[in-house]
A and B are shown apart, each in its own frame.
Chain A
Amino acid sequence: MLVPILKQGDYLIASVQSELSDEDLLKLRDELVKRVGELRSRGVIIDVTALYVMDSFATRTLRAIAHMIRLRGAETIIVGIQPEVAFTMVQLGLKLEGVMTALDLEEGLAYLQTLHTSKRR
């Protein structure tokens, strides 16, 4: 599988391993939405460190994933966007509005934890 999805406590972590075709992205979307429902996860981290192309289709799909997962009651954080990719995305006009981002997996997990601690209070 191109994008293994690991369960870690309340969270799901999807690590993109290589360049993805459009179909792979859509599969990832369906799989994540399904698992979040089954496992009642509270957060999803999608690690895109290995992606060097984030074009308009990939961005639109990631945004859709985040929105669908929010409807299921969980948060999505995209982590690992590389400097070159971030630079290219904004020139293209892609901003991932409304989607949370963090530097890498570690920061992403920290972010989710903060969100949930502050929510419980």
Chain B
Amino acid sequence: MNKEETKKPTPESSDALLRELVDHFREKREILRQQWVQLMMGKGLLAGLTQEEIETESITIYDTCIVCLETGEYEGAQAYATRMAERGVLRGMTTEQIIGGLLTLRDVYGRSLFERYQHDMERLSAALDIYEPVANKILSVVALAFVEEREKVVRQQQEAIRELSTPVLQFRDKLLILPIIGLIDSLRARQLTEQLLRAIRANRARVVVMDITGVPSVDSKVANHLVQTVDASRLMGATVVVTGVSPEIAQTLVTLGVDLSKMNTVGDLQGGIEVADQLLGYKVSRTEPPATGLITSKEKVP
């Protein structure tokens, strides 16, 4: 066999080679894609996908990779990977499945290059020089998209758990109870306030009993948040009764300059509910400034 003249790839020739690779993968698209799908099936990487999904997704991935090779741009791959990650993670598809699939595709492409250029080592290595970095880049783009998606889901779950850990209970008409249990940090204190304020609006609450018996300690930052929660509730017309204030927490509040006499604190939850009932059910003459939230005798407590 008469070998072609081999020469070091110049920019032009590597451009030409790139074109050649792209054309090659486009020509062989059906054969290579089928090979790829067969291999993935063999490895059990397609579990949970329908025949139709396998068809459309494999075509899209195959073509997207060729576009990356052709243009050197990865936005398309990135966007596709993010979408795939969103769906994949939601459907419980594992990262191993996705990455495994792409590694298999890389093998399929690589093997077909080998077949084509095996008699021309120089050209084969030039082809691999072009192809390898692109394949690696695609893999990292996709892996990153999945890791980010995974993190996002974890974060959302953590948030949901946090919300759940501080339920705002509607105790009776216009009375909410907010039992806070466990350590609170600034982030949780802020979420708790937002949650309570929304609950005040949704339940048209006039009184909130905030029980902090279950809070072991607070630093001055968190104590500040608690005071803000009380103030913000008042801006929405609701009076907050704080119960279960331990001596340590009381000390922190005083150190902060909080006037506890303005804060409506009651020993325990039971006492707090009684005070709330008074606020809701009995005639209360107007308190001179600082005014508290809405307290009227219009409603009879059921």
Consider the complex of A and B and state whether they touch directly, i.e. have CB atoms less than 8 Å apart: yes
Q: Are A118 and B283 in contact (CB under 8 A)?
A: yes
Q: Are A97 and B298 in contact (CB under 8 A)?
A: no
Q: Are A114 and B197 in contact (CB under 8 A)?
A: no
Q: How far is the CB of A88 from chain B (nearest CB, A)?
A: 9
Q: Are A114 and B232 in contact (CB under 8 A)?
A: no
Q: Are B201 and A103 in contact (CB under 8 A)?
A: yes
The stretch of A16-24, A31-39, A77-85 that contacts the partner chain: A77-85
Q: How far is the CB of A84 from chain B (nearest CB, A)?
A: 8
Q: Are B235 and A96 in contact (CB under 8 A)?
A: yes
Contacts of A91-121 to chain B: CB distance below 8 A:
91, 95-103, 107-108, 110-111, 113-115, 118
Tell whether A90 is near chain B: CB-to-CB under 8 Å.
yes
Tell whether A86 is near chain B: CB-to-CB under 8 Å.
yes
Q: Are A87 and B294 in contact (CB under 8 A)?
A: no
Q: Are B236 and A81 in contact (CB under 8 A)?
A: yes
Tell whether A89 is near chain B: CB-to-CB under 8 Å.
yes
**Set of chain B residues within 8 Å of A81, measured between Cβ atoms:** 235-237
Tell whether B42 is near chain A: CB-to-CB under 8 Å.
no
Q: Annotate A3-46 by CB proximity to B: 1 below 8 A, 0 otherwise.
A: 00000000000000000000000000000000000000000000
Q: How far is the CA of A63 from the CA of B14 in the complex (A)?
A: 75
Q: Are B231 and A90 in contact (CB under 8 A)?
A: yes
Q: Are B294 and A103 in contact (CB under 8 A)?
A: yes
Q: Are B298 and A114 in contact (CB under 8 A)?
A: yes
Residue of B nearest to A89 (CB): B235
Residue of A nearest to B205 (CB): A103
Asked, given contacts A107-B237, A111-B294, whether A87 binds B193 with beta carbons under 8 Å apart, the answer is yes
Q: Are B237 and A83 in contact (CB under 8 A)?
A: no
Tell whether B291 is near chain A: CB-to-CB under 8 Å.
yes
Q: How far is the CA of A97 from the CA of B235 in the complex (A)?
A: 9
Q: Are A98 and B291 in contact (CB under 8 A)?
A: yes
Residue of B nearest to A96 (CB): B235
Tell whether B247 is near chain A: CB-to-CB under 8 Å.
no
Q: Which of B235, B236, B286, B296 is close to A95, meaning CB atoms less than 8 Å apart?
A: B235
Interface residue total, chain A, C-beta cutoff 8 A: 28
The A contact surface, by secondary structure, is: helix
Asked, given contacts A90-B231, A103-B294, A107-B204, whether A98 binds B289 with beta carbons under 8 Å apart, the answer is yes
**Set of chain B residues within 8 Å of A100, measured between Cβ atoms:** 291, 294
**Set of chain B residues within 8 Å of A110, measured between Cβ atoms:** 294, 296, 298
Q: How far is the CA of A117 from the CA of B290 in the complex (A)?
A: 21
**Set of chain B residues within 8 Å of A85, measured between Cβ atoms:** 235
Q: How far is the CA of A118 from the CA of B233 in the complex (A)?
A: 25
Q: Annotate B212-247 by CB proximity to A: 1 below 8 A, 0 otherwise.
A: 000000000000000010011111111000000000
Residue of B nearest to A78 (CB): B235
Tell whether B200 is near chain A: CB-to-CB under 8 Å.
yes
Q: Are A101 and B234 in contact (CB under 8 A)?
A: yes
Q: Which of A98, A99, A101, A111 is close to B236, meaning CB atoms less than 8 Å apart?
A: A101
**Set of chain B residues within 8 Å of A102, measured between Cβ atoms:** 237, 293-294
Q: How far is the CA of A101 from the CA of B286 in the complex (A)?
A: 13
> Which of B204, B228, B232 gathers most chain A CB within 10 Å?
B232
Q: How far is the CB of A77 from chain B (nearest CB, A)?
A: 8
Known: A81-B236, A86-B232; 19 extra A-B contacts, CB below 8 A, are A83-B194, A84-B197, A86-B233, A87-B194, A89-B232, A90-B228, A95-B231, A96-B235, A98-B290, A99-B291, A101-B293, A102-B294, A103-B237, A110-B294, A110-B296, A111-B237, A114-B297, A115-B286, A118-B297
28 contacts between A and B (CB under 8 A): A81-B235, A81-B237, A83-B194, A83-B201, A84-B197, A86-B197, A86-B232, A86-B233, A87-B197, A95-B231, A95-B234, A97-B289, A97-B290, A98-B289, A101-B237, A103-B201, A103-B236, A103-B237, A107-B237, A107-B294, A110-B294, A113-B296, A113-B298, A114-B295, A114-B298, A115-B286, A118-B285, A118-B286
